[in-house]
Copies of this chain bind each other. A is one copy, B any other.
Amino acid sequence: MRRWNGWGDEQVQLPLAPEAKLFLLEVLGEAKNGPNADLNTAIARLSASRLDDTKLWTTNPAQRIRYSLGQSLPDWLQLRYGLIAQAPDAVAFPESREEVRAVLQQAAQQGCVVIPYGGGTSVAGHVNVQASSRPVITLVMQRMMQLQSLDTEAQLATFGAGVLGPDLEAQLRARGFTLGHFPQSFEYSSLGGWVVTRSSGQQSLGYGRIEAMFAGGHLETPGGSLDIRAFPASAAGTDLREIVLGSEGRIGVLTDVTVRVQRLPEKESFIAVCFPDWESGRQALRQMAQQQIPLSMLRLSNATETATSLKLAGHVQQVTWLERYLRWRGCAEQKCMAIIGTSGSALQVRQALQQAKQVWRQHSGIGLGTLLGKKWQHGRFRNVYLRNTLWDMGYAIDTVETATDWSRITPLMQAVEQAARGAFAEEGEAVHTYTHLSHVYTQGASVYTTFVYRLSGDYQTDLRRWQRLKRAASEAITTFGGTISHQHGVGLDHAPYLHVEKGQAGLEVIRSLYRHFDPQDMMNPGKCVAAKGD
């Protein structure tokens, strides 16, 4: 069963090796076990629902709690301390467009707010309930998850928008196809959620971001239905898909999604390459991206992330030998590990790697073959379980992500890391901080920074710490020319910084779009771009 206050399936554990624990002890100090309230405690504290049960929704307290929050660190604090600030008054599980429409109509009639909920993996507060005089209904899409049609010639598949990653891929793979969208949240995030938050998967370099996959769909809005037809390309005025992408539940509920799929590749390969330092690695990735070498993934860890990964991996003996070899080849303390992915026919994979090799050699990269690549592939959706393990040990782990131009990446990364490391200086608490680039473009790359620090054992202290860290990192991102989100969306947590990149005129046009579909501001109010006066 899915954990109610942690990541993923209760059966999945990701224990740390003793050496990994020792490493955390060294860098952050001893920690006491993190809090872990039980569901009944949270239920007992829940305020009464302001709605009655209907055929359309339930007011069951356990359901209200299970669908009250996402996976951001402040969400975890609420869940683990058993202090759910706000839960929806009711939860609806529609099974069809008609039922979605009925929920919206009933909600409008009763003056309710509706929060669309896909997989609940948001790390930016997209599905959180905010204090409101209006009752809140969380509309869970999980029952709308069928593959409705597959056009094998046009490579178009239409799904219910609530389908989660594994179910989507299983239905496609059975027919020889793949979507190729693999965000780290893959196991629990939904197709509709990917679209409305502009998600990006780990192999976006080859398969494209969700924007490129999203070909059309159907939306139920307070003002009526919107059908978006799928064309290969069109110059016919405004692209309606773009009204839906990044709309974060503010204009309605995406019920059906048509995506561009691809035949399962004959071959897929991930190889590791070690660079002697950050700058060599960054230049190599830039060159591969700008030369349009047909790879499916490019990922580069900075020196701290590389060292941390090797420490947390366990396998002391093998890592020692690897590091000895790398040192002999010129990759020592400052070494940075990259993972390079390729997909396609055997010929395509071979040719792409040949092109990539020319570039990494120019930048003193050492090819390490597929062993570490396979390890990365094996852990690609498992590492997120590390959060449970660390929490139990008393450590919080959180991330921020952005994208910026190639020339700004290093100063931005340094600024974010410095801001984070110093965030708790006055308390004398360390923040272990490291970064990778995981999505590359001709113009620049995403920058993804991770923070690990000790929990205090006190909810208010931990919340304040997170707020301080999040603010420091977000200010560094916007000051140094990054977008406030490359792949996680805006939600609540990034909303205060959005004006920096959109400008007031930009926010106004987004508001006018929301108003067009939702004049009563009943759809997920306050998220992304708040109506004036929120």
The chain A residues found within 8 Å of chain B, CB to CB, are 151, 153-156, 197-200, 206, 209, 215, 223-240, 242-243, 245-248, 260, 262-263, 286, 290-294, 344-345, 347-348, 351, 354-355, 358, 403-407, 439, 441-446, 482-490, 494, 498, 501-503, 505-506, 508-510, 512-513, 516-517, 528-529
Contact = CB atoms under 8 A, between A and B. Distances in A.
Copies in the complex: 2
B506 A228 contact: yes
Contacts of A506: 226-228, 240
Contacts of A488: 235
10 contacts: A223-B505, A227-B505, A232-B404, A232-B445, A234-B485, A238-B247, A260-B442, A292-B344, A351-B351, A351-B355
Contacts of A529: 237
Nearest to A235: B198
A237 B528 contact: yes
- Of A230, A238, A483, chain B has the most CB atoms within 10 Å of the CB of A238
A236 B491 CA distance: 9
B235 A246 contact: yes
Contacts of A224: 505
A230 B443 CA distance: 9
B236 A498 contact: yes
A487 B482 CA distance: 32
Contacts of A243: 238, 509
Contact of A505 (B226, B482, B528): B226
A234 B153 contact: no
A331 B485 CA distance: 54
A226 B503 contact: yes
Given A151-B405, A406-B154, A236 B490 contact: yes
B512 A516 contact: yes
Contacts of A231: 403-404, 443-444, 482-483, 501
A142 to B, nearest CB: 22
